[in-house]
Amino acid sequence: MNVLVINLTRFGDLIQTQPVVTGFRRLGCRVGLVCLENFASAATLLDGVDAVFPLPGARLLSGLDGDWRLAVRDADGFRARVLAEFPPDRTVNLTPSVAARLLARALTPDGAAAGFFVDEFGFNADSSAWAAFLQLAGGNRGASPFNICDIFRRTAGLAGEGNSLALAAPTAEVAARAETLLRAGVAAAPGFVAMQLGASEDRRRWPVEYFVRTARLLRERDGLVPVLLGTGGEAALGERFVEAFDGPCVNLVGRTSLAELAGVLAACRALVTNDTGTMHLAAGLGTPVCAVFLATAQPWDTGPYRAGNICLEPDLECHPCAFGRECGREHACRRAVTPEAMYAHVAHLLGGDRPGPFPGARAWLTRTGDDGFMDLVSLSGHGGTDRALWIAIQRAHYRPFLDGGRFAGKTGLAGRMSPGAAEGLYKTLTSAHDLLFLLSRQGMVLAQAPRAQAKAKFLTSWQRLQNVLGANDYLNMLGLLWKFESQRHGGDLASLLGMTDRYLGLFASLKAEFE
C-alpha cells in the first residue's frame, strides 16, 4: 500500500512529520512525501521515506504572474509524475492551505483521504475533528494541550503507531564532515555543546549574552566547547557571541548544510536552543535538548518529541502570550529564565543531580504518557498550577471527543485548582452546556417547523454560545473549534444537530469535573 504524505510547511514541521512516516511504515506501507522544493534536503533526514517529490511552489506562483497556461502545464506535469512514480492508495495532507488542499484532491484516490482536502464543489473538507483541531491549533498554540506530532498522527488516522521521532542516523560520510568542521574550529576538546542562538522572531529568542554566560559555565565546570548553529541570516548573532565569549568556540552559523547540521548535532553532548527546527532535529537524533520557550511558544505543543528532554519557560502569568497581542511588559519573558537555571538543567541532562527550582523559570521534563502521547512532568513544582491542571483535564477529555467517543469518568484534577479558577470554569461550562441543550431542542423544533422565528431563535442561541466561549481564555480553543465545525455543517441541520450532541456530551463531562 502506497501512502502519500503532503507537508508544505517549514523545516521544523517537516521534521515533525517523522512519526506519521514511522506509523505507516509499521503498518507495512510504503511512504512517499510531497514537500516544498527548498526543504527537499530536509526530507533526506526522515527515516523510512521511499520517494520524495519536491514541489516548485515559488516557481509555479511566479509563473501565474506571467503565462498562467505554462504554470498550469507545470502543475499538471508534477501531478503526472507523482501518479506515475508513486501511485497513492491513500493520501495524507497535513497542510491546511488552499494550494495544499487542491493538490491533495488532485492526487487522491476516491475515498482514501486523510487531513485537509476540498470536496467536489471546492469547499473545505476535513477528514476528522483532529484535522480541524490541527488547523486551529496553529494560530492558538497557547491553548493546545497536545504535541503537534501527536496531532499529526491522529489527523493521519494513526492510533498507537509511530509515536517516535527517531530520524535517520547521519551517514559515515556526513559524520566525518561534521568531525572536520568541529575540529577545524577546536583541535582538541573533551566534548561539544551545540547552541542555536536564533529563533523565528526576536521576541522568541533568548538573549545572546545569556547563551554566553551559559557557555562559560559549561566550559568552566564541564570542559565543553560551544558550537554555534543557525542560518546565514543569523550570522550577526554568532559574531556577537564570539566577541563576548572568552574561550574556544566553533562558529558554524550559516556554514552547514542540513545533513551536516544533523552530523554536528549527533556529535554534540547536548543542545541549548530556542524553540526551533534545530531543536526538533536534535530530538530526532537522540541528542539531549534543553530548550527555552518564550512569547507565544510553549512546550506542550511544540516541545521536543522525545522522552528525557527539558523545556524551560518564564514563570510569568502572561506566558504564553496570545498571537497578535502586543507585549505590555517590554518582553520581560526573554530575561526571566537565567543562565544559571539553563546551566543547571543542561548539567542534569549530562548526568548531574536534578536541579531545584529557580526563580523565574518553569522546568518540564518530556515523557511518553500512558496514552502514548507526549507529556510533560514538572521539575520545578509547577505541575499543580491552574494552567498545568487544566491542560491535563483537556488532554483527558479532548482526546476521546476528537476520536468520536465519550469520556468515561472524572480525573479528579479540578478539585486541585484554585477556587477562583475552578469557580470561573464551572460557571462558563455550565452556561455553555445549558446553551447547547437549548440549541439541540431549538434545532429539533426547527427541523419539524422550519419557520423564520424558530430559525432566528436558533441563531441567537448559537451566537450566545460563541460569545460565552470566546470570552474565556481557558475555553477559547473550544469556541473556535465549535464555530469552525458548526459553520462547516451549517447547510445540513441534521448533521449540525449531531455535532451539537457531541459537544453537549463533552461539556457535560467537563462540567462534571467541577461538581
Residue 409 lies in a domain: no
Residue 49 lies in a domain: yes
Q: Do 150 and 182 lie in a common domain?
A: no
Q: Which residues partner with 377 through β-bridges?
A: 365
Instruction: Please report which helix (H) or strand (E) contains residue 368, including its range.
Output: strand 361-368
Separation of alpha carbons 225 and 452, rounded Å: 73
Q: Is the pLDDT of residue 152 over 90?
A: yes
What single letter denotes the amino acid at residue 272? V
Q: Do 314 and 372 lie in a common domain?
A: yes
Q: What pLDDT score does 29 carry?
A: 97
Single out the residue in 155, 189, 214 at which a domain terminates.
155
Q: What are phi and psi of 97, to 5 degrees?
A: -65, 160
Q: What are phi and psi of 191, to 5 degrees?
A: 170, 165
CB 272 within 8 A of CB 205: no
Three-state DSSP class for residue 113: strand
Q: Do 138 and 268 lie in a common domain?
A: no
Q: What is the pLDDT of residues 423-440, one digit of tens each?
A: 999 999 999 999 999 999
Q: Looking at the chain, how many residues does it have?
A: 515
120: confidence class by pLDDT, cuts 50, 70, 90: confident
Q: Do 209 and 337 lie in a common domain?
A: yes
Q: What are phi and psi of 405, to 5 degrees?
A: -110, -165
Q: What is the pLDDT of residues 196-210, one digit of tens each?
A: 999 988 899 999 999
Q: What is the pLDDT of residues 360-418, one digit of tens each?
A: 999 999 999 999 999 999 999 999 999 999 999 999 999 999 999 888 789 999 999 99
Residue 165 lies in a domain: no
Name the least confident of 88-92, 126-130, 312-316, 405-409.
405-409
DSSP 3-state percent helix, strand, coil across the chain (nearest 5): 50, 15, 35
Q: What pLDDT score does 67 carry?
A: 78
Q: Please state, rounded to an integer, the average pLDDT across all residues of the chain.
A: 92
Indicate the Cα dihedral angle 116, 121, 122, 124, nearest 10°: -40
Residue 404 lies in a domain: no
Q: What is the pLDDT of residues 325-350, one digit of tens each?
A: 787 777 888 999 999 999 999 999 99
Q: How many C-beta atoms lie closer than 10 Å to residue 121's C-beta?
A: 6
Q: What pLDDT score does 92 carry?
A: 97
Q: Do 27 and 87 lie in a common domain?
A: yes
Q: Is the pLDDT of residue 141 over 60?
A: no
Separation of alpha carbons 269 and 200, rounded Å: 24
Residue 407 lies in a domain: no
Q: Do 124 and 263 lie in a common domain?
A: no
What single letter denotes the amino acid at residue 47? D
Q: What is the domain count for the chain?
A: 3
Q: Which residues partner with 228 through β-bridges?
A: 195, 251
Q: Do 52 and 135 lie in a common domain?
A: yes
CB 471 within 8 A of CB 447: no
Separation of alpha carbons 491 and 504, rounded Å: 20
Residue 164 lies in a domain: no
Single out the residue in 124, 155, 186 at which a domain terminates.
155
Q: Do 228 and 331 lie in a common domain?
A: yes
Closest CA to 226 of 278, 264, 255, 170: 264
Residue 402 lies in a domain: no
CB 342 within 8 A of CB 322: no
Q: What pLDDT score does 1 carry?
A: 94
Separation of alpha carbons 257 and 273, rounded Å: 18
Q: Do 239 and 274 lie in a common domain?
A: yes
Separation of alpha carbons 323 and 390, rounded Å: 20
CATH code of residue 97: 3.40.50.2000
185: confidence class by pLDDT, cuts 50, 70, 90: confident
Q: Do 447 and 359 lie in a common domain?
A: no
Instruction: Please report which helix (H) or strand (E) contains residue 481, including its range.
Output: helix 476-488
Q: Is the preceding omega at residue 320 within 30 degrees of 0, hence cis?
A: yes
Q: Do 27 and 134 lie in a common domain?
A: yes
Q: Do 91 and 125 lie in a common domain?
A: yes
Q: Which residues partner with 312 through β-bridges?
A: 292, 363
Separation of alpha carbons 484 and 492, rounded Å: 14
Residue 501 lies in a domain: yes
Helices (H), 111-207: 129-137, 148-155, 172-185
Q: Which residues partner with 36 through β-bridges?
A: 55
Burial level of 400, CB count in 10 A (0-12/13-18/19+)? middle
Closest CA to 147 of 44, 19, 32, 266: 19
Cell for 192? 561539544
Separation of alpha carbons 175 and 262, rounded Å: 9
What single letter denotes the amino acid at residue 240? R
Q: What pLDDT score does 136 carry?
A: 86
Cα–Cα distances (Å) from 209 to 212, 213, 216, 309, in that order, read 5, 6, 11, 23
Cell for 117? 482536502
Single out the residue in 383, 405, 439 at which a domain terminates.
383
Closest CA to 475 of 507, 505, 436, 514: 507
Separation of alpha carbons 355 and 361, rounded Å: 12
Q: What is the pLDDT of residues 448-477, one digit of tens each?
A: 888 888 889 989 999 999 999 988 888 888
> What residues make up the domain containing 96?
2-155
